[in-house]
Chains A and B, each alone.
Chain A
Amino acid sequence: MKYLLLMYANEAQSAAITQEEGQTIYQDWMDFMKQANEAGVLLANNGVAPSHSATTVRVRDGQTLTVDGPFAETHEQLAGYSVVECPNLDEAIRWATKVPMARYGSVEVRPLWSPQA
């Protein structure tokens, strides 16, 4: 089964970390990527630019409405994503716990839609 790991963290807090904390988090990212690649579970992975760089688009009654910012104001903002392939939810959760955001933010584990489900 394929799962989307959506990684959220509070941007203000993330920006305020010390250089030392930043090094640790970078190292943890490297560890996660290495393990996930070696296990052959990682199908995709990328960070996303900060939420102020987002644009939200809606089309209503043929009118295009373009708004600056993410789709909603939330306490934690999307920071990146991975797509993993795992036999079951427990495995997906296991990988989610290795994502650094899990310790100071949140990781949502969302199954990719499939016809049989």
Chain B
Amino acid sequence: MRTSYDQIEATFREEHGRVLAALISQLGGDFSLAEDALQDALVNALERWEVDGVPRKPGAWLHTVARRRAIDRLRRARPQDEAMDPETLAAPDEVEMDDSLPDERLKLMFTCCHPALALEAQVALTLHTVGGLSTPQVARAFLVPVPTMAQRLARARSKIRQAGIPYRVPPADLLPERLGALLAVIYLIFNEGYVATSDRAAGGAGGGDGLTRPELCGEAIRLGRVLVSLLPRPGSAEARGLLALMLLHDSRRETRLNGAGQLVLLDEQDRARWDQDKIREGTAVLDEALALHDPGPYQVQAAISALHAAAPAAADTDWPQIAALYDTLARMTPSMVVEVNRAVAVAMARGAPAGLSLLLRLSDQADGFYPYHAARADLLRRTGQREAAAEAYERALELCGNSAERAYLQRRRDEMLRYD
């Protein structure tokens, strides 16, 4: 019985990060040699596993074979050395299993997200090396041509080597800042996928044999789980907060679009179709984070999301608590988005006029920001000010480029104009 290609590929993706991370360590930080050696091992594995099936310890198998291929490559690079050791040519099924495959993925993740690398390179390198996505898969996920992505990855590896970016977990004095950068990369990957759900409505790219953009959410969550499992507990609160946030957001992904591909807002989503496993996991991870008494913005956002997830129906939502959390978030990370969301929460907790007066305070700085106009429009609609609401929806439409959100704004604006 032949093992399916899909099964083998899934195993590669699963094992790639851990095997590569260990190899790079063992090869003195040489990314290129490690990746080439692993590529050799993958080609080998594809031939053998289709016939023999996936081995019991695929990671150990790949690691042992890759290490041999690396030695092989090093020897070929120095032709003056004596003939190749027969050991390197041993058939893969004679290879002895190396049980002690260390988990060096923290080193790999921090190196990929070093500030000396361009942000888009950090993202690509993380997905490719830790996530095990192929170059075409990463290219498709970020809507760039494959050669462009290949060059981006090659340049990043070259920069690591030429500039002497160390392959390590940063020392204590650099760790908080570097961990923040790593979390930002993971969150960026998640948001690319999350936003892509809305793009699906406009027939956005996806499907086929590549990674669809919404699958980036799954990849980001996977990276988050790996990070949380490897980080020491002290200092891990925000990493746990981010994982919780992603899980809780993702639990609602299936209900964000209706059958016609239109955006469905939180209060109209079918809560029976929210993923309870993700909610349970997210809530548990958030509890672990909070137990560390080291608050931060990801934890606060996760707490807000958890309050939504805990409400069986929209009407049961604990809006006063959410409004209070937005107060905290506004103090930690003041921004237009946070202020607008806070105004909406306040409106839900204390009535639309309270929310509207908060929005009024933003009117100067927020004029170019469509969520501000969209929120204002919704609150004006709720207080029956149809004409003002229609104008605000119109202003939001002028500024909004997202197809699914535009459709929503158009629908509401037309509603407001209908009875005039």
What are 12 A-B pairs at a CB distance below 8 A? A1-B164, A88-B165, A89-B114, A89-B116, A89-B164, A90-B166, A90-B171, A90-B174, A109-B163, A111-B162, A111-B164, A117-B161
Which residues of chain A have C-beta atoms less than 8 A from B162's C-beta?
111, 117
| Contact (Cβ within 8 A) B166 A88 | yes
Count residues of A near B (Cβ-Cβ below 8 Å).
Answer: 12
A3 and B170 alpha carbons, distance in the complex (Å)? 20
Which residues of chain A have C-beta atoms less than 8 A from B170's C-beta?
90
Which residues of chain B have C-beta atoms less than 8 A from A3's C-beta?
164
Nearest CB of chain A from residue B156's CB, rounded to whole Å: 14
Decide if A101 is an interface residue (CB 8 Å cutoff). no
| Contact (Cβ within 8 A) A89 B163 | yes
Nearest CB of chain B from residue A35's CB, rounded to whole Å: 16
A87 and B164 alpha carbons, distance in the complex (Å)? 8
Which residues of chain A have C-beta atoms less than 8 A from B164's C-beta?
1, 3, 86-89, 92, 111
| Minimal Cβ-Cβ distance residue in A for B165 | A89
Which residues of chain A have C-beta atoms less than 8 A from B116's C-beta?
89, 93
Given contacts A1-B164, A88-B164, A92-B164, 15 further A-B contacts (CB under 8 A): A3-B164, A87-B164, A87-B166, A88-B166, A89-B114, A89-B164, A89-B165, A90-B166, A90-B170, A90-B171, A93-B116, A109-B163, A111-B163, A117-B161, A117-B162
A111 and B166 alpha carbons, distance in the complex (Å)? 14
Nearest CB of chain A from residue B403's CB, rounded to whole Å: 40
Which residues of chain B have C-beta atoms less than 8 A from A88's C-beta?
164-166
Which residues of chain B have C-beta atoms less than 8 A from A86's C-beta?
164
A3 and B116 alpha carbons, distance in the complex (Å)? 14
Hey, what's the 0/1 contact readout for A93-114 against B, CB within 8 Å counting as 1?
A: 1000000000000000101000
Which residues of chain B have C-beta atoms less than 8 A from A111's C-beta?
162-164
Which residues of chain B have C-beta atoms less than 8 A from A87's C-beta?
164, 166
Which residues of chain A have C-beta atoms less than 8 A from B114's C-beta?
89
Hey, what's the 0/1 contact readout for B153-173 against A, CB within 8 Å counting as 1?
A: 000000001111110001100
Hey, what's the 0/1 contact readout for A78-90 against B, CB within 8 Å counting as 1?
A: 0000000011111
A71 and B174 alpha carbons, distance in the complex (Å)? 36
A104 and B180 alpha carbons, distance in the complex (Å)? 25
A90 and B114 alpha carbons, distance in the complex (Å)? 10
Chain B CB within 10 Å, residue with most, of A86, A87, A90: A90
